[in-house]
Chains A and B, each alone.
Chain A
Amino acid sequence: MPIESELNVTGFRVTRTLDRLVYDLLLILRDTLSDPEVDLLHNQDDVENLELDVLELLSRPIYAKCLLWRDYHPTGETWHRFTTPRGDEKRVYDQAINYFYQLLRRPLGLAQNRKERPTNMHLLLQAGCRHGPAERGWPEVTIRRDHALRPGDPETDAFARTDEALSAQHQAWSEALASARDDPASTAPTIALRRHAEFGPLWLIVADYVAEIVPELSLFHDVLRTLPTPLPAAFAEDAEFQKRLQKVLETLNERYGLLRSCGLDPNRWWSVDALSVSVLKDIKALRQRVAQHGRDQPDKARAHAYETAFNTLKGGKSKFAGCATFSAFMETEVGHALLWGDYLPLPPADSVEDDDDAEDASDVSGSSPADPATAEWTSEEADRYIAQYAPLADDALMTRVVQVIFAGHTLDEPEILAELHRLIDQNDLHRRRFGKLPDHKLTKALCEHATALIQRAAPSPA
């Protein structure tokens, strides 16, 4: 199946750059995990192929600008350039390498409030495993905690590969725990250990096969190596798999985004003890409040602005940004760097999204968080803006394209695609312009045409 083949997205809406990354990763994973030749467990070339695919993706302008955009430190931008045998130049952005190895390959930590529940990474693995061979029981696979369970091995080697992947993860986990015990500066995964003691180990259960699974897994490559590959391509259209992948990326990205928003270099990840997410959120609010009163103030005025903002935001709370007073905050490494150090600038004023404000992705019981940008407009209001917008007037096709995209749907959903084809057929001009395009080129052409119409309008909304 060509990588650009349609992907029906039902598990989430594409409204932010991070959502588009989920969509693109689904395309890459479908291409990789459904290929019977690929072996991520044993073949390092396959692993590198996959990693390079993701690195090249992250280096595309849309991601460099909107996901890694916080890295616009004047001296920090590095591009690696390559020319393929066909003469195409491909570029890999250095920050994309940091993002992949620092963040996407990171095991997902266990959140405090999950109690006995597995992480979203485990639930992503479970959703993927359910597309494994039915004759071996994969569609009924479960991952859960249990004090009483013991490993169970059916008299078959059907699960030898799964066993090999899980054993390797166990070994890495044990080594990490041992080094954490030996190194007082290292932070042991205390929540994971506590939950293990309280509720028992996590188990992967497929029919008679029962194996312990480590409490913290990475997407690249713990989950991918454990899946019973090759999977049927349909796994990528499973709403549960899509939703879990989105949750996983939101959680992984949250700290990165907050570090950037606080002007800190995420290449230094900081430990949770040194800089928790709630402290980062406070510092972000502090910077934003000071920025409202001008960015380039003299030192004395800036210090005063920070102190005023700190005290206002702290209000009656006992602590803000982890400190009881502004002077205590200024004695912290981050506080000092914020005011006097070489911190990164604030996001550009015209940024249209704030993708570090991920919901706590550990909460899986509720529905997807409402997109804050969408929430600002009711669908009636959005429809009214679109209907009244002169460049789109009397153009049912472009009106529909804008409605669908604003709502966070993708144009390659089957019903939407069928409707667009119908609208194209009803208009001679559109039939000549779009009628002969294959579907994957059609969706791009429609979006580009809608963009051009909107941008050409005066006064430009852009």
Chain B
Amino acid sequence: MNPNNPAVDREQAFWKIVLHRLELAASDPPLSRREAAELLAQLPPRRGAETVGDRIRRATAEARLPQRRDNVIYVNFRPLIAIQRLAADSGEEAPLPDPGRPLESADGRFRLSIAAVAGELRLTLEALGFAADDFAHRRLGVAAASACPASAMEQIVPLGSDAVIAQFTLNADGDGVCTLPDTPENRRVLLQPVIGLIEDDG
């Protein structure tokens, strides 16, 4: 507001409202049923109980995936949750989390502990609570968040086997351990890891 001239402010506010209402009135009508049907035909076929919203998101996720290369072995990776880590200003390029403070997923289903031992990274994945029963004896993996867009969560993403840096078969308690080389690439993936289910083709 302009305290020196409230009358001018008032008039300007009036014209601002007028312009907004003119913008509303000038907006185009919705698509006709025929136009909507044309757009619907651009979506991938429906899977099971998918909504049209799910299909739109899947179309985008599939379009973003890198093209398959012939000489790479792919795994069907179903991303479940990304773990957000707070950046620690330790001066290292890709620091590991404090060994005494395992990472926990925001949904409380997983805990991931990382320890550097003699040139290797030892990863322990624990499924917690009900998730322990859900994922017991299942194969899970850890991949980079950059390989799994947020819109691809819970959907199968074919990833090159090198993109899934760790694979675990959880035991009856929902726990699994995996060891991998302590390389800058693996450490970078662990800055924002995504935990996912590895599903068989069949």
**Which of A's residues lie within 8 Å of B, judged by CB?**
2-4, 14-15, 17, 19-20, 24, 27-28, 31-32, 35, 38, 44-45, 48-57, 60, 62, 66, 78, 80-86, 90, 92, 94, 97, 100-101, 350, 352-353, 373-374, 376-377, 381-382, 385, 389, 402, 405-406, 408, 410-411, 440, 443-444, 447-448, 450-451, 454-455, 461-462
Known: A52-B40, A53-B31. A405 touches B18 (CB 8 A): yes
The reply to whether A48 and B52 form a contact with Cβ atoms under 8 Å apart is yes
Please state if B42 and A62 are interface contacts (CB–CB under 8 Å).
no
Contact of A52 among B22, B25, B52, B150 (CB under 8 A): B52
Q: Is B183 interfacial (CB 8 A cutoff)?
A: no
B59 to chain A, nearest CB (A): 7
Q: A48 contacts which chain B residues (CB < 8 A)? A: 40, 46, 51-52, 55
Query: Which residue from B20, B26, B35, B40 sits with its C-beta under 8 Å from A444?
Result: B26
> Do residues A373 and B17 form an inter-chain contact, with CB atoms below 8 A?
yes
Q: How far is the CB of B154 from chain A (nearest CB, A)?
A: 15
The interface of chain B, by Cβ under 8 A from chain A, is 10-33, 35-43, 46, 51-53, 55-57, 59-60, 150-151
CA of A35 to CA of B35, assembled, Å: 15
Are B23 and A406 in contact, CB atoms less than 8 angstroms apart? no
Residues of A contacting B: mostly: helix
Pairwise interchain contact B56-A406, C-beta atoms closer than 8 A:
no
Determine how close the nearest CB of chain B comes to the CB of A433; give it in whole angstroms: 15
B21 proximity list for chain A (CB < 8 A): 14-15, 405-406, 408
Q: Which of B14, B35, B60 contacts A80 (CB 8 A)?
A: B60
- Give which listed residue, A15, A31, A385, contacts B33 with CB less than 8 A: A31
Report how many A-B pairs have Cβ atoms within 8 Å.
Answer: 159
Residues of chain B within 8 A (CB-CB) of A78 are 60, 150-151
Query: A35-B33, A56-B31 known; A402 and B18 CB under 8 Å?
Result: yes
A14-B21, A56-B36 are known contacts. Are A451 and B26 too (CB-CB below 8 A)? yes
Query: How far in angstroms is the closest Cβ of chain A from B130?
Result: 12
Q: Are A44 and B36 in contact (CB under 8 A)?
A: no
Contacts of B30 in A (CB 8 A): 3, 24, 27-28, 31, 53-54, 56-57
Tell whether A49 pairs with B40 under 8 Å between CB atoms, given A3-B30, A101-B53, A454-B18: yes
Assess whether A14 is in contact with B39, with CB atoms less than 8 Å apart.
no
A27 to B33, CA, bound (A): 11
Given the interface pairs A51-B53, A405-B22, A408-B21, the reply to whether A3 lies near B29 with Cβ below 8 Å is yes
Q: Which residue of B lies closest to A78 (CB)?
A: B151
User: A164 vs B24: C-alpha distance in the bound complex, in angstroms?
Assistant: 39
Q: List 8 A-B contacts (CB under 8 A).
A: A2-B32, A15-B21, A31-B33, A32-B33, A44-B46, A84-B35, A101-B53, A448-B22
9 closest cross-chain pairs (CB), A and B: A461-B15, A447-B26, A97-B53, A53-B36, A4-B29, A48-B52, A20-B24, A3-B32, A82-B42
